Amino acid sequence: MIELIDIHKAFGAKKVLTGVNLTIPSGESMVIIGGSGTGKSICLKCILGLIKPDSGTILLDGADVATAERDAFLARFGMLFQGGALFDSLSVWQNVAFRLLRGSLKRPKAEAREIAIEKLRRVGLSPDVADLFPAELSGGMQKRVGLARAIAAEPEIIFFDEPTTGLDPIMAGVINELIREIVTEMGATAMTITHDMTSVRAIADRVAMLHDGVIQWSGPVADMDASGDPYLDQFIHGREDGPIEAVR
Amino acid sequence: MILLSPLGAVGRSVLGLLGAIGRVALFSGQAVGHIFRPPFYFKEFLQAVLYIGYFSLPVVGLTAFFTGGALALQIYAGGARFNAESVVPLIVAIGMVRELGPVLGGLMVAGRVAASIAAEVGTMKVTEQLDALVTLSTHPMKYLTVPRVVAATLTMPILVAIGDVIGVMGGFTVGVTRLDFNAATYLNNTIDFLESWDVVSGLLKAAVFGFIVAMMGCYHGMNSARGAQGVGRATTNAVVSASVLILASNYILTELFFAA
C-alpha cells in the first residue's frame, strides 16, 4: 500500500502540491486525473524519489520511503514514461532487459535476452523487433517497448505516466487494454496518470482527481459519474463552464 | 540609485559566477567520489574510450600536423633575425609537447567531445531518460558521468602523445622540404635537446584537460533546461566553459611545472 500524507511541493513561488493525501491499496489500479500542470507527474516523481517533496510523508507498506534503501525500494517499481524514455543507444531488447543486465537482478545475457523477447511478445511485439533501435520504431511500438521494460523485472508496483498521449485512438485502446491485462495478471499495484477519460474507464479500479494542489475527489471508478463533485463533473465531461477556470 | 545599478549588476554577476563555480565543484566532487565506489560500468567505459580517444585522433592529428608546420615556419622566420635558424627543431618540439599539443588537442576535443556529451546527456534529460535510469536502479552519475570522465582523463594523454609526434613530424616535414634542413640533423636536434619532463608535463596537462572536457559535457548536459533551446544552450556552455577552463588551468599548471 502506498500512502501520501500531506505532501507539499513548490517550485519557487509556484505552489504545485499543497497538501496531497492519498492512499493506493495493494493490488489496485489507481488513476490520477487532473488538468495539465496540476502536479500529477510531480506526485508520481515524489513517490519514486525523483523529486523531493518540501514536506509530508510517503509510506510504502508502512515504511517511510525517504529512509528506505534506494536499490531495494526501486527494485519493487516499474514505470512507463510518457514519451517512452527508451535509451537511444541501446537496442530494443537491451532496453527491455536493462535491469536484468546489471545490478542486483543481473542475469546471464542469453537469459536476459530470452526474458526480454518474452516480454515483447506479451505486449504484442514480434521477436524481430528485439534487435532494432528505438528510433526505428513508431510511437505506439515505443510505448509497447516501454511497457515491456516496465514489467521485465516483474515489479510489485507499476506507474504509468500518460500512457496514451500521442497515440491514435485505436492504439490508445490497445495500450489501455494491455495495461489492464498486465496489471490484473501480475496482481500489481498500479498508479496511472492521465487526462484521457477513455483510459480512466479502461484502467482504473479507483480514481483520484488532483486540482489546486490537493486531491479534490477520490473513489471507485464506478462512482465517478454520479459523484456530485462539480470539479470532477466538469473535468470528466470536458465542460468549459464550471469551477475549474478554462483559459482561452 | 542610477549610479548604484551598475554596481548591482556587477555584484549579481560575481554572485552568479561564484554560484556556478560552487555547483561545478560539488558536481565534480560527487563524480570523483563515484569513481571509487561500485558498481563500475566497464562496457560504457570502453565505449567512451573508443569515442573520446580513437575517434578524436583524426582531428587532433591534423591540428597537430599543421600547427607543427606553421610553428617551424614562424620560428625559422623569427630566428633568422638573430641568425638562430638552427633552433627550429628544438623550439618546435618544446612548443608542441609542452604547450600546443595539449592545449590545442584539448580545445579540439572540447569542441568535439564536450559538445557531444552535453547534447547526448541533455537530450536524455529532456526525454526523461535520466529519470528512467533512476527508476531502473541505475545512478546516472555512475552510468553516464564516471565512464566518460575516466575515459577522457586516461585517453587524452595518449591522444596528445600521438599528436605531439605528428606535430613534430609536421615541423620536420616543413623543415626538410621548405627550409632546407638536413633530415637526420633535424631529428637529432629534436631528440637530443628534448627532456623527458617536457613530454611528461604535457601529458599531465592533457589528463587534466580530458577531465575538464568530460566533466563540463556531463555537468551542462545533466543541468540542461527543457526543450531544444535548453539542450542547445547546454552544448554551447559545455564547449565555452571547457575551453576557458582548459586555458586557465593551462596557465596554472605551467606556473606549477615551470615557474622558476
pLDDT tens, residue by residue, A120-144: 998 889 999 999 999 999 988 999 9
Give the mean pLDDT of B106-128: 95
pLDDT at residue A71, as a whole number: 83
Distance CA A147, CA A120 (A): 9
Compare CB distances from B128 to A49, A71, A81 and report the shortest one's residue.
A81
pLDDT of A47 over the 70 cut: yes
Where residue A242 falls among pLDDT bands split at 50, 70, 90? Answer: confident
- The whole-angstrom distance between B37's CA and the closest CA on chain A is 14
Give the mean pLDDT of A85-94: 95
Closest CA to A54 of A20, A110, A112, A7: A7
- Using the Cβ of B227 and the Cβ atoms of chain A, whether some distance falls under 8 Å is answered with no
Where residue B173 falls among pLDDT bands split at 50, 70, 90? Answer: very high
pLDDT at residue B3, as a whole number: 63
Strand order through the sheet with A2-11? A14-24, A2-11, A55-60, A63-64
Answer yes or no: is B117 within a domain: yes
Say yes or no for a CB contact (<8 Å) between B134 and A45: no
Where residue B4 falls among pLDDT bands split at 50, 70, 90? Answer: low
Where residue A239 falls among pLDDT bands split at 50, 70, 90? Answer: confident
pLDDT of A248 over the 70 cut: no
Answer yes or no: is B123 within a domain: yes
Name the residue range of residue B193's domain.
Answer: 43-255
pLDDT at residue B69, as a whole number: 96
Distance CA B238, CA A202 (A): 46
Residue of A11, A65, A98 to mutate, testing the B interface (most B Cβ within 10 Å of its Cβ)? A98
Bridge-based pairing of strands A29-33 and A189-193 is: parallel
Where residue B187 falls among pLDDT bands split at 50, 70, 90? Answer: very high
Residues of chain A in contact with residue B123, where contact means CB-CB under 8 angstroms, are 88
Where residue B7 falls among pLDDT bands split at 50, 70, 90? Answer: confident
Closest CA to A28 of A224, A221, A170, A236: A221
Give the mean pLDDT of B53-67: 96
Contact at 8 Å (CB) between B132 and A81? Answer: yes
Where residue A158 falls among pLDDT bands split at 50, 70, 90? Answer: very high
Give the mean pLDDT of A170-195: 89
Range from A67-71, A80-84, A220-224, B231-235 carrying the lowest mean pLDDT: A67-71
Say yes or no for a CB contact (<8 Å) between B138 and A71: no
Compare CB distances from B135 to A48, A102, A104 and report the shortest one's residue.
A48
pLDDT of B41 over the 70 cut: yes
Q: Report residue A135 CA to chain centroid gap.
A: 23
Please provide residue B222's backbone torsions phi and psi, each rounded to the nearest 5 degrees. -70, -20
pLDDT at residue B97, as a whole number: 96
| Burial class of B35 by CB neighbour count within 10 A (0 to 12, 13 to 18, 19+) | middle
pLDDT of B185 over the 60 cut: yes
Instruction: Give chain B as a 3 state SS string.
Output: CCCHHHHHHHHHHHHHHHHHHHHHHHHHHHHHHHHCCCCCCHHHHHHHHHHHHHHHHHHHHHHHHHHHHHHHHHHHHHHHCCCCHHHHHHHHHHHHHHHHHHHHHHHHHHHHHHHHHHHHHHHHHHCCHHHHHHHCCCCHHHHHHHHHHHHHHHHHHHHHHHHHHHHHHHHHHHHHHCCCCCHHHHHHHHHHHCCHHHHHHHHHHHHHHHHHHHHHHHHHHHCCCCHHHHHHHHHHHHHHHHHHHHHHHHHHHHHHHHCC
Percent of chain A exceeding pLDDT 90 equals: 62
pLDDT at residue A247, as a whole number: 65
pLDDT at residue B84, as a whole number: 85
Distance CA A139, CA A133 (A): 13
Say yes or no for a CB contact (<8 Å) between B131 and A98: no
Where residue A103 falls among pLDDT bands split at 50, 70, 90? Answer: confident
Chain B residue with minimal CA distance to A78?
A: B135
Residues of chain B in contact with residue A70, where contact means CB-CB under 8 angstroms, are 137
Answer yes or no: is B174 within a domain: yes
ipTM computed for the complex: 0.88
Give the mean pLDDT of B2-10: 79
Phi-psi region of B205 (alpha: psi -120 to 50; beta: other; left: phi over 0): alpha
Distance CA A150, CA B109 (A): 37
pLDDT at residue B85, as a whole number: 84
Tell me the domains of chain A and their CATH numbers: 1-69+190-248 (3.40.50.300)
Say yes or no for a CB contact (<8 Å) between A50 and B136: no
In chain B, the number of structural domains is 1
pLDDT of B1 over the 80 cut: no
Contact at 8 Å (CB) between B215 and B27? Answer: yes
CB pairs under 8 A between A and B: 51
Query: Between the CA atoms of B223, B228, B233 and B236, what dihedral angle is there, to the nearest 10 degrees?
Result: 110
Chain B residue with minimal CA distance to A89?
A: B120
